[in-house]
Amino acid sequence: MNDKFVVKGLNGKKTLSGKIRVNGAKNAVLKLMASTILFEDKVELLDIPEIEDVKRMLEILEDLGVKIERKEKGHFVIDTSKAKETVLNREISEMMRASIVLTGPILSRFGEVTFPIPGGCVIGARAIDFFIDGFKKMGASVNFDKGAYIIKAKGKKLRGAEIFLKTPSVTATETFIMAGVLANGKTVIKNSALEPEIKNLADYLISCGAKIKGAGTSRIEITGGNLLKSKGKKYKAMPDRVETGSFLVLGALCADNLEITNCNPDDVEILLEILKDSGVLLEVKKNSILIKNNGKIKNKEFKSVNIKTKEYPGFPTDLQAPMVVFLTQASGEALVFETIFEGRLNYTEDLKRMGADILMLDPHRVLVKGPAVLRGRKVESPDLRAGLAFIIAGILAKGESIIDNVYLIDRGYENIEERLRKIGVDIERFS
């Protein structure tokens, strides 16, 4: 489980080339999988990345009595018709924040749910107060006993409520959409998150009978009804915008020619604007992005840009770490302000050991000065996104880098080493 990657750096040469395909979006498919609890018939899911988090979600579902059939790679059929269990597997849920989205559909369908405080990447406090408060508003009682929350809907049925999120939380928005689908009456989520994965979830649920209005805006209205029916309608995963963005940074820094395929450029518009402003030449097509003849442009010709992470459509916190790697190479000084998670800049210590000029101002802000020559080092990824950023830094660097704790990278990126090798990266996995 504790694999390592060994990456041989290109020492600043831009030699990568070819095509890299973006996989289905982790943060969309995990929610779709949870939503299958709302269905009376089977749900077929396509283009599902077989990453560790997906495997864990499948295990939790199986533990709840859900039947899962893997038809072929990335193609699953999920049948929740026999599910009755309402207690989330503790060990797995504690490993993964996304497990919390199951509470919405389980509570909505069965009238009760028991779950531990969810874990996940160590990037900040990651509270769950919005969930607890929202369920109370929907008429549920909340008890905490032996490290688990026990939530029960009055009369086994949630009732619609108005829920105002103090911060537009992605998982809370998704959870209350799903809770509202089988609740009595109307649920309104105010100050809801706008991330494209939310609309993607809502669109599929709507196509199967759910009454949801406003997904993708800051006010979502759900009118409760009966169990949903897929009637054979398949869900195909949307492309992962974090992979898209990370590959863009990799391409800009290390590739001569790179085509990023199966992506949705609109979902990474802010990154495209920023990279273009800093001098990266990009050709944006409908479902692909091209980086062409980039080999002659020296990274130091790229201009630094200040970054402030924000909810969608602002700069995604999940792309903050790859962007910092980009900024270590661009000319000038950039202020990076991580507004969402207070622990999400800690990885910059390791980048500094690789030679980056980064000054931490406080847990939310760093100053990055470029260009700096990076040297291969042994680093350990604290979360999956920083893990991929280390891989990018390793590819760019002079010498060899060892990236420890690869499990975290495997949580979100399927077979990343094989996909990178295809475009010319020298990367090996060691167990």
Shortest Cβ 180–ligand EPZ spacing (Å): 17
Closer of 128 and 182 to ligand EPZ (Cβ): 128
Closer of 111 and 412 to ligand EPZ (Cβ): 412
Look up residue 317 and give its two tokens: 């916190």
Shortest Cβ 358–ligand EPZ spacing (Å): 21
Closer of 201 and 291 to ligand EPZ (Cβ): 201
State the Cα–Cα distance between residues 97 and 17, nearest whole angstrom.
35
The DSSP letter of residue 217 is B
Closer of 30 and 290 to ligand EPZ (Cβ): 30
Shortest Cβ 127–ligand EPZ spacing (Å): 4
Closer of 88 and 397 to ligand EPZ (Cβ): 88
State the Cα–Cα distance between residues 334 and 104, nearest whole angstrom.
40
Shortest Cβ 333–ligand EPZ spacing (Å): 26
Residue 37 phi/psi, 5-degree rounding, is: -60, -25
Shortest Cβ 88–ligand EPZ spacing (Å): 15
Q: Which residues pair with 290 in a beta bridge?
A: 259, 283
State the Cα–Cα distance between residues 82 and 276, nearest whole angstrom.
52
Shortest Cβ 411–ligand EPZ spacing (Å): 8
State the Cα–Cα distance between residues 394 and 409, nearest whole angstrom.
14
Closer of 76 and 341 to ligand EPZ (Cβ): 341
Query: How is the beta sheet containing 67-72 ordered, strand by strand?
Result: 67-72, 75-79, 43-46, 234-236
Look up residue 191 and give its two tokens: 């100050």
Look up residue 289 and give its two tokens: 């992005």
2-15 burial: b if 16+ Cβ within 10 Å, else e: eeebbbbbbebebe
Q: Which residues are catalytic?
A: 121
Strands 365-370 and 332-337: antiparallel
Q: Point out which residues bind ligand EPZ (CB under 6 A).
A: 26-27, 30, 97-98, 121, 124-131, 167, 169-172, 193, 317-318, 340-341, 384-385, 412
Look up residue 50 and give its two tokens: 């077989």
